[in-house]
Structure 1
Amino acid sequence: MAPLDTARLDEAVGTVFGDLGVNCTAPLIVLGDRLGLFRTLAGAGPLGSGELADRTHLVERYVREWARGVAVAGYLDYDPATDRFTLTDEYAAVLADDRTPTSLIGVFPGLRALWADLDLVEGFFRTGGGMGWGEHHPALGAAQERFTRPAYVHGLIAAWIPAVAGIEPKLRAGARVADLGCGYGLSSILIAQQWPNTTVTGFDPDDASIAHARAAASKAGLDGRVAFEVADAAGYPGNGYDLVTFTDSLHDMGDPVAAAAHARTTLAADGAVLVVEPLAADRFADDFTNPYTRIGYAISTLVCTPSALAQDGATALGAMAGESRLREVLTTAGFTRLRRLARDGAPINLVLEARP
């Protein structure tokens, strides 16, 4: 072995040790969410561990250790003079309130699914094949639904769909929408709630996800205006849709070209397809400057690529396909008019409008 560069060795140790710290802190973040610790700290000003334990009806000794662990990770401010901890308003907007557009707390509970399914994914590395979303640990679907809600409320509903040329008057009057790869149905339900005269049908190949979506729609009082069916995106029924949406789903499909081509054939006159995908550069070398890509490539390796390789076609775009590759898929599928939307309002998303 050649002599090691001590400076680069120190850098390697520091990087890996830092990542160990991040991974060890993640369960503390989940506990802070489950036990209401972040919500209690939000807007409360400085609190000692005893005060925090009293307000949350928890055991002080555990709360003290938790607060210290989260503070050294940088999530809480600590005042050694008073031995009190503070959750700043900025961190509260990320950790304590699912309604904010910056909320990220919903990601953490899903990490257990990545570990739970790791042995299966290791097997795919050796033998090929894959697994669908419904075959993963159930924590994954719940985390996906919770994590995407802020982006869909503040992005999909408030900005991205309204940016599709001419669609809002149709939605207000009463349009037909197909939501492909709808998963737990969040995007379908939000569309139906925002535009009460519009009917939405969500399609997904996973029976359990569709069952969950139907229950959620019924709970929201949307029976009759939003429906869910088990179907593949490359062969779902119906036509005359004014809008067809792929919300973070096109890259999960085994044959994305076939899915996009079928969507094109089901559009109404002057209908449009909306594609929402993770933001990635066209060249991998340019992805190193985007802080999201570290998450994106990890999820793509463990979830998205196995999903695509479990299906017919097995194209496996991966979550980080990039705009040029997505445009290639859409043009191959027969779309001739493509437009990028929300360039400035979607920090971790790429949003495209496609028309025949």
Structure 2
Amino acid sequence: MDPDPDRTRAFGEQLLGMLTGGMLTMLIGIGHRTGLFEAAARGPATSSELAERAGLHERYVREWLGAMVTGGIMEYDPADGRHTLPAAHAALLTGATSRNVGPTASSLRTLGSVLPQVERCFTEGGGVPIAEYAAVSAGGLGETWRHIYDEHLVDGFLGRVPGLHERLRAGVRVLDLGCGTGHAVNVMARAFPESTFDGLDIATDAIADAEAERAAMHLPNAAFAVADAAALAPERPYDVITAFDAIHDQAAPEVVLRRIHDALDPDGLFVMIDTNFATRLEDNLADPYAPLSFGISLLFCVPTSIATGGSGLGAMWGREQARRMLADAGFTDVQVFDTPRPQNCMYVCRAEQR
């Protein structure tokens, strides 16, 4: 049976849009890393003027501008040869804010750098160690979340948990699992000086960065340690444990959740921010964030988990499976809250009384 020509034509147009979007994503990353968007936000400019502002070579800037104009990102006035970044577009391409998509574009470049390793996993199995991502990321993997923590962590996330601000102001013991470079811990420690905050991660380099930032911010109530979350067994229970977009990346998430449950005070809280998707594929068909999240899961979450001997749970484990695993770990009281980011939700879990 011959294919429907109209459907083939429509799909061809869809593919062209995908390929164009992929190319523009790479060029947005260049604009972010080289400062071209920040320079363009200062006002209309010719390619020579923009190159001078940004301290770059004009010939490359000129070709980049061609893609920006034809891609609908910037505007061009042929009368004076000047290019303009509209203020409405600059709001999403400039500034140290979570709305700036530049860091995300740079993160996708990192994922693209490890494509050969991931492709090899399709045929040979195994995973890709996180160290291979760190070697090519130039710090880009965590930049978006740093802005999110600065803007939303204290009020947008923690502020939505009834009574949590009051407990943190009064002074409690808090642990952040999978803390990475520790920015969330340091933001919380600065906001709630009466509480103490521990950050734990398996990555030695990340913990070194976390400690350096803690020292620079002069935070005596924060501390960091290199450790495996699956071996968590504190001498004293914690009042609050947090995990930001980290549980689905663990090699043994079911073990980690049980360890978290057992490490909490009987009146303690586990606050888990994770991806906001359904477990069943068919329930994600209308979600505009699903394709990007599946791709990130494939290129990062699954291979890094498998590389440590894990099952490769992945970012798309979904709300239903998350609830089941939390219940299996002993959390009988679980509430799910929206967050400032539609692609994330927040599970607030109370331990079963022991």
Structure 2 length-normalised TM? 0.91
CA shift digits 1:2-55 (9 cap, x unpaired): 43322222223222222222222233222212222211222x343332332333
Distance 1:73 1:170 in 2: 49
- Contact in 2 for aligned 1:309/1:315 (Cα 8 Å): yes
Distance 2:85 2:51 in 1: 15
Distance 2:192 2:138 in 1: 25
Structure 1 partner of 2:331: 335
Deviates more, 1:73-82 or 1:265-274: 73-82
Distance 1:316 1:27 in 2: 27
Q: How many residues align?
A: 350
- Contact in 1 for aligned 2:198/2:222 (Cα 8 Å): yes
Q: Residue 336 of structure 2: SS of its match in structure 1?
A: strand
Deviation at 1:240, TM superposition (A): 2.3
List gaps (5 residues or longer) in structure 2. none
List gaps (5 residues or longer) in structure 1. none
Distance 1:159 1:194 in 2: 13
Distance 1:234 1:114 in 2: 26
Distance 2:267 2:131 in 1: 34
- Contact in 1 for aligned 2:110/2:141 (Cα 8 Å): no
Distance 1:197 1:132 in 2: 38
Residue type of the partner of 1:16? Answer: L
Correspondence 1:114 to 2:111: yes
- Contact in 2 for aligned 1:305/1:317 (Cα 8 Å): yes
Correspondence 1:240 to 2:237: yes
Distance 1:284 1:151 in 2: 27
Percent identity between matched residues is 34
Structure 1 length-normalised TM? 0.91
Correspondence list, 1:1-356, <5 A: 2-42=1-41, 44-99=42-97, 101-140=98-137, 142-222=139-219, 224-238=220-234, 239-312=236-309, 314-342=310-338, 345-356=340-351
Residue type of the partner of 2:193? Answer: P
- Contact in 2 for aligned 1:116/1:137 (Cα 8 Å): no
Residue type of the partner of 1:207? Answer: T
Cα distance 1:294–1:49, how it changes in 2: closer, same or farther (>3 A)? same
Distance 1:55 1:131 in 2: 40
Cα distance 1:159–1:233, how it changes in 2: closer, same or farther (>3 A)? same
Residue type of the partner of 1:316? Answer: G
- Contact in 2 for aligned 1:242/1:270 (Cα 8 Å): yes
CA shift digits 1:152-190 (9 cap, x unpaired): 233322221122232212211222111111112121122
Deviation at 1:83, TM superposition (A): 3.0
- Contact in 2 for aligned 1:53/1:60 (Cα 8 Å): yes
Q: Residue 340 of structure 1: SS of its match in structure 2?
A: strand
